[in-house]
Each structure stands twice: as structure tokens, then as C-alpha cells.
């Protein structure tokens, strides 16, 4: 453990990229820590090749919206078909639906009201690599997230066309990607009916004004604002309205958290006595223009910049400490793009003298929730929202 | 045999060029690890976990691949794979 930290510290100063690269360094993959290109993607940090998992270097978060070419990529399965939009169909079915339907992309675009929403897409395991002790799973740094403008149609409008039966409990979601072996459980998820019918839950076909990139779910994906990206099914192919809890591996076993350590999951049909699915994003923040261990020339003011977010209450304030948490001062929040978007903030730090400063950032949501000083441990390493702490040296 | 051909063709179809840069240690058991694990995923999944999975952790992980992810690995190969991972990529 000492080795890992020591190594990261030593490497940090010389690394241009941030968390992800350091994580690859510590895993002994330094030579492999190139930014292997996926078609249409640039400058992402490679975690795994197949299935492809790539995170965004943190400096790209210093913008209201994350460009598509820099948007992170996360897959569970290696078979990811290139989909021809004109041949794509979305099937709506299930035992709690009156009349099964099938839609083409054009029908979805033309038959329903289109809406656009700014929302943060955040991997449940973002920052897993920061857990101590480590949690098994992809060792993400801080870059398994991105903020985007998503355009599509409301899931509730599409389901209403097919007629929901009063027995409906959940809506299961399936996509076109699959495992290599037929024995591997497909990545199928479900939503409680209330979240599926939320006016903000979309079937999206555009991202930041362009068609969805292949690696982010072309031609259509689900957008579940406020919930972690495990529910944001890519390459959507089938939605089933069902009367019983969906019992596949990816709901019953994976993506679960202990009930006693986190707020209510709003998904009672998938809860057991002790565990529940990870659902709502927890309040969090990230400094985007500085890194731990960085040396800077002492200036009159240093603008500390970052982003803050939560699961849909909106950000009320961000507080910054430059003395390791003894004193806190409020940062200035930038433009509000809606309660599901992250919120940019900045803070003019006026250092009186050269030296080392312990910088911390802490967000508070409109509901009053705030970040803990240490991450809340859980077996799969989800919801890492500890207050960020970094030391910078001013000479 | 038919299954094997099918698997190999899947592997060939899904492997990416970048994977050629991932090399596992040349020790006994490597052949079984590559043959079984790389059917479904690149081998960087192994190196990424090497800093913190101990033998018990690798046993759990290989068990998950068989029991949850449907990897058709027999008991003899399972033992060889766990030994290789614990000895060469164990914490």
C-alpha cells in the first residue's frame, strides 16, 4: 500500500494527465498507458481494451459540457455491433403492457415531442480507484463521467402509446451489446415504474447537438437524469413493462449497495433486507484545473476551478478550504443549466506567501446533503464522494 | 470442436489491435489463462487487479467468471488459473 501511494505521488508531478493515468501507472501498465484511439474519440485514458473502457482526463471537465470526442466510454461486454440506423428497431413489450409496439428511429423522432435536457452521465464506480482499501472492479480515476445536452423523446410518452397495464411494476431495458459467450448474462437492467415515467427520463438520440457517438450508444440510449449511468442503457433495443421484479444478474447481484450506509434508493421492488440497487447520484465535486502535488509560481490570485453535482436537487454551494479544512470560504457558482447538470464553480485564491497549501472542495446540495471527509466503504466501490484534498506548492 | 471454432472466431472478431501490447508473465499456467480469460476480455483486466487481489481475491474473481459470467472452465483449469494469477499477479 505504501508503495502504491508513494509511486503515485512521485509520478504525479511529471504527469500531464490526471487520475486515470496515475492509476494505470500504479497497476504496472505504465508502458501501456497510451491513449489508444477508439474511432471518433480523442485523448481518453485507456483502462481496458476489450470491452473498451476509457476515461476522460480531468482537464476536459473545465467546460459546461464535455465534448463528444472526449466523453468517457464504458462497456461490460465485448460484442458491440455497429448499428445501421435505418434498420434499427425499438421493441416495446412485456406482460404489463396492453399492445406491444415497434418503432423505427424516424418514428420516434417524428411521432413524439422532442425535448433536450442537460444531465450528468456518471459511472457508479467513478473514482473506485481512490478507495482505500481497494475495491475490485475497474480502477477508475475521476474521469468516468461527463456532462452533456441530451435530445430525445420522453420514455413516458412512448410507453403511453403502448398502454401500460395497472399491474406494471418495473420497466426492463435491453441493449444491442452482448457477451462473447451465450452463457454470459446480457446487460439488462430495470427501472421502477415511477422513474420510467418521470418526465426527465428520455430515449435520446442526440448528444451535444450531434447524433450519439457509436461508443456512447448510437442510435438511441436511455437518459435517466439524477441516477448513475448503469441505468443509461446504450444501443437500446427493447423495453419491457413487467409486473414482477426483474431478476437478472445485473439487478439482483451487481450494482448493489448496503442499505444502512446510503440514502433510500427509491427502488423498493429490488431491495432486500440489507441491500438495494445503486440509484441516485450522491452530492460531489471535483477540482478540474489543479492536481495533487502540483508546483505553481506564486501569483497574486490563483483561480481554482471545478464542477459540482448531485442527483437532481441542484447545488446550493461549494466551499473551499486552503488550509486543510480549518477554514472554509464560499466559491462562486457559474451558470445553472438545470438541476441534473453539473454546476461549474470557481474560487479566487489569494495566497499571502509562498509555500504548500492543502486545498479542499466540498459541495452542498439544495437538499442540504454534503460530502463526507472520507468515502463511505462498500463492497463494490460505488458512490465515492469524499471531499477532494490536494496539496499544491507555490514558489 | 465446433464450439471451439465458434469461440475462436468470436475472439478473433472482438479482439482489438491494441491488445497485442498486453503480455502476461511466461510461467506455467499462462496458456490456460490466455485461452480461457481472453475469450471474453482483454488481459489488462488481470494486470489492473494485480496490485491488490490476493489468492482469496483471485479465487473469488475466477469463481465469479465461472458462476456469474458463464465461463466454461473445468475444475482442473480453474485451479491452474487461480494458481497462476495468485503467484504472478497476487498482492
Q: Could you tell me the residue ranges of all domains in chain A? A: 2-74, 90-134+145-277, 284-394
Q: Helix (H, G, I), strand (E, B), or coil: what is residue A20?
A: helix
pLDDT recorded at residue A264: 82
Contact B51 A179 (CB under 8 A): no
Q: Which CATH number fits domain A90-134+145-277: 3.30.1180.20, 1.10.10.10, 3.90.420.10, 3.30.420.40?
A: 3.90.420.10
Interface probe for A, chosen from B38, B44, B60 (most Cβ of A below 10 Å), is: B44
| Higher pLDDT, residue A248 or A8 | A248
Closest Cα in chain A to B44? A48
Pairing relationship of beta strands A170-175 and A145-154 according to DSSP bridges: unpaired
Contact A134 B52 (CB under 8 A): yes
Contact B48 A134 (CB under 8 A): no
Q: What is the C-alpha to C-alpha distance for residues A301 and A313, in angstroms, rounded to an integer?
A: 32
Closest Cα in chain B to A26? B51
H helix or E strand, kind and range, residue A257: strand A256-258
Q: Where are the alpha helices (DSSP H) in B25-73?
A: 30-37, 44-49, 55-67
Number of domains present in the structure of chain B: 1
Q: What is the C-alpha to C-alpha distance for residues B59 and A371, in angstroms, rounded to an integer?
A: 35
The model's pLDDT over A95-151, given as tens digits with 9 standing for 90+, comes to: 999 999 999 999 999 999 999 999 999 999 999 999 999 999 999 999 999 999 999
Interface of A with B (CB under 8 A): 4, 24, 26-29, 31-32, 36, 46-52, 78-79, 133-134, 136, 138-139, 179-185, 249, 253
The three cell numbers locating residue A170: 418495473
The model's pLDDT over B45-89, given as tens digits with 9 standing for 90+, comes to: 999 999 899 999 999 999 999 999 999 999 999 999 999 999 999
CA distance B6 to chain A (A): 10
The model's pLDDT over A139-155, given as tens digits with 9 standing for 90+, comes to: 999 999 999 999 999 99
ipTM over 0.90: no
Contact A181 B72 (CB under 8 A): yes
Q: What percent of chain B has pLDDT over 90?
A: 73
pLDDT recorded at residue A9: 32
B42 vs A49, A181, A184: nearest CB = A49
Asked whether the predicted pLDDT for residue B40 surpasses 80, the reply is yes
Closest CA to A272 of A260, A280, A284, A287: A260
The three cell numbers locating residue A149: 445536452
Average pLDDT of chain A is: 92
Asked whether the predicted pLDDT for residue A32 surpasses 70, the reply is no
Asked whether the predicted pLDDT for residue B9 surpasses 70, the reply is no
Asked whether the predicted pLDDT for residue A256 surpasses 60, the reply is yes
Give B20's pLDDT tier (boundaries 50, 70, 90).
low
Give B14's pLDDT tier (boundaries 50, 70, 90).
low
Contact A76, B64 (CB under 8 A): no
CA distance A37 to chain B (A): 9
pLDDT recorded at residue A36: 54
Chain A residues with CB-CB distance to B72 below 8 A: 181, 183
Q: What is the CATH number of the domain that holds B11?
A: 1.10.760.10
Interface probe for B, chosen from A32, A37, A181 (most Cβ of B below 10 Å), is: A181
The mean per-residue pLDDT over the stretch A35-54 comes to: 90
Asked whether the predicted pLDDT for residue A278 surpasses 70, the reply is yes
Contact A138 B15 (CB under 8 A): no
Q: What percent of chain A has pLDDT over 90?
A: 90
Chain A residues with CB-CB distance to B13 below 8 A: 79
Closest Cα in chain A to B47? A27
Evaluate the CA torsion angle A389, A12, B42, B52 in order and state its sign: negative
pLDDT recorded at residue A393: 97
pLDDT recorded at residue A7: 33
Closest CA to A378 of A258, A235, A245: A258
Q: What is the C-alpha to C-alpha distance for residues A75 and A80, in angstroms, rounded to an integer?
A: 9
Q: What is the C-alpha to C-alpha distance for residues A164 and A275, in angstroms, rounded to an integer?
A: 29
CA distance B57 to chain A (A): 9
The three cell numbers locating residue B33: 489463462
pLDDT recorded at residue A37: 72
Of the given ranges (A106-110, A168-172, A188-192, B9-13), which has the lowest mean pLDDT?
A: B9-13
The model's pLDDT over A197-214, given as tens digits with 9 standing for 90+, comes to: 999 999 999 999 999 999
Q: Helix (H, G, I), strand (E, B), or coil: what is residue A194?
A: helix
The three cell numbers locating residue A202: 428520455
Contact A102, A247 (CB under 8 A): no
Contact B16 A52 (CB under 8 A): yes
Average pLDDT of chain B is: 86
B50 vs A27, A133, A184: nearest CB = A27
The mean per-residue pLDDT over the stretch A293-320 comes to: 97
Fold of the A284-394 domain = Immunoglobulin-like (2.60.40)
Q: What is the pTM of this model?
A: 0.90
Contact B84, B31 (CB under 8 A): no
Q: What is the C-alpha to C-alpha distance for residues A56 and B39, in angstroms, rounded to an integer?
A: 27
The model's pLDDT over A327-346, given as tens digits with 9 standing for 90+, comes to: 999 999 999 999 999 999 99
Give A187's pLDDT tier (boundaries 50, 70, 90).
very high
The three cell numbers locating residue A21: 493515468
pLDDT recorded at residue B18: 64
Contacts of A384 (CB under 8 A, 6+ apart): A126, A127, A128, A130, A131, A375
Contact B44 A139 (CB under 8 A): no
The mean per-residue pLDDT over the stretch A282-287 comes to: 98
pLDDT recorded at residue B17: 59
pLDDT recorded at residue A320: 98
Contact B89, B47 (CB under 8 A): yes
pLDDT recorded at residue B91: 87
Q: What is the C-alpha to C-alpha distance for residues B30 and B43, in angstroms, rounded to an integer?
A: 11
Contact B40 A78 (CB under 8 A): yes
Amino acid at each position: 500500500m505504501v508503495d502504491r501511494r508513494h509511486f503515485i505521488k512521485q509520478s504525479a508531478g511529471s504527469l500531464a494527465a490526471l487520475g486515470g493515468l496515475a492509476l494505470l501507472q500504479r497497476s504496472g501498465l505504465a508502458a501501456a498507458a497510451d491513449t489508444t484511439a477508439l474511432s471518433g474519440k480523442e485523448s481518453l485514458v485507456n483502462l481496458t481494451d476489450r470491452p473498451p473502457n476509457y476515461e476522460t482526463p480531468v482537464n476536459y471537465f473545465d467546460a459546461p459540457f464535455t465534448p463528444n470526442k472526449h466523453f468517457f466510454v464504458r462497456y461490460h461486454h465485448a460484442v458491440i455491433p455497429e448499428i445501421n440506423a435505418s434498420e434499427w428497431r425499438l421493441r416495446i413489450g412485456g406482460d404489463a403492457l396492453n399492445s406491444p409496439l415497434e418503432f423505427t428511429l424516424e418514428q420516434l423522432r417524428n411521432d413524439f415531442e422532442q425535448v433536450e435536457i442537460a444531465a450528468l452521465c456518471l459511472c457508479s464506480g467513478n473514482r473506485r480507484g481512490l478507495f482505500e482499501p481497494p475495491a475490485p472492479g475497474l480502477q477508475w480515476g475521476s474521469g468516468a463521467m461527463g456532462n452533456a445536452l441530451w435530445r430525445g423523446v420522453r420514455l413516458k410518452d412512448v410507453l403511453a402509446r403502448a398502454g401500460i397495464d395497472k399491474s406494471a411494476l418495473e420497466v426492463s431495458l435491453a441493449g444491442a451489446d452482448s457477451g462473447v459467450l451465450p452463457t454470459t448474462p446480457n446487460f439488462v437492467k430495470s427501472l421502477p415504474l415511477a422513474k420510467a415515467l418521470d418526465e426527465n427520463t428520455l430515449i435520446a438520440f442526440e448528444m451535444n447537438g450531434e447524433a450519439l457517438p457509436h461508443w456512447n450508444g448510437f442510435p438511441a440510449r436511455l437518459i435517466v437524469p439524477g441516477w448513475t449511468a448503469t441505468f443509461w442503457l446504450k444501443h437500446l433495443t427493447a423495453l419491457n413493462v413487467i409486473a414482477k421484479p426483474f431478476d437478472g444478474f445485473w439487478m439482483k447481484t451487481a450494482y448493489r449497495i448496503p442499505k444502512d450506509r446510503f440514502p433510500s434508493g427509491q427502488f423498493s421492488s429490488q431491495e432486500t433486507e440489507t441491500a438495494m440497487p445503486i440509484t441516485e447520484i450522491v452530492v460531489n465535486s471535483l477540482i478540474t484545473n489543479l492536481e495533487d502535488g502540483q508546483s505553481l509560481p506564486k501569483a497574486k490570485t490563483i483561480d481554482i476551478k471545478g464542477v459540482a453535482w448531485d442527483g437532481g436537487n441542484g447545488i446550493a454551494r461549494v466551499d473551499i478550504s486552503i488550509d486543510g479544512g480549518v477554514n472554509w470560504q464560499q466559491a462562486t457558482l457559474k451558470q445553472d443549466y438545470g438541476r441534473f447538470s453539473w454546476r461549474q464553480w470557481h474560487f479566487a485564491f489569494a495566497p499571502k506567501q509562498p509555500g504548500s497549501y492543502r486545498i479542499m472542495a466540498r459541495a452542498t446540495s439544495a437538499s442540504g446533503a454534503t460530502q463526507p471527509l472520507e468515502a463511505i466503504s462498500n463492497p463494490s466501490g460505488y458512490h465515492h464522494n469524499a471531499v477532494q484534498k490536494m496539496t499544491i506548492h507555490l514558489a | 470442436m465446433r464450439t471451439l471454432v465458434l469461440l475462436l472466431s468470436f475472439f478473433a472478431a472482438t479482439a482489438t489491435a491494441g491488445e497485442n501490447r498486453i503480455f502476461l508473465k511466461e510461467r506455467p499456467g499462462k496458456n490456460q489463462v490466455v485461452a480461457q480469460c481472453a475469450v471474453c476480455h482483454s488481459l489488462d483486466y488481470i494486470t489492473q487487479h494485480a496490485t491488490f487481489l490476493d489468492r482469496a481475491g483471485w479465487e473469488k474473481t475466477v469463481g465469479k467468471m465461472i458462476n456469474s459470467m458463464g465461463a466454461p472452465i473445468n475444475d482442473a483449469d480453474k485451479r491452474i488459473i487461480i494458481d497462476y494469477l495468485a503467484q504472478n499477479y497476487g498482492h
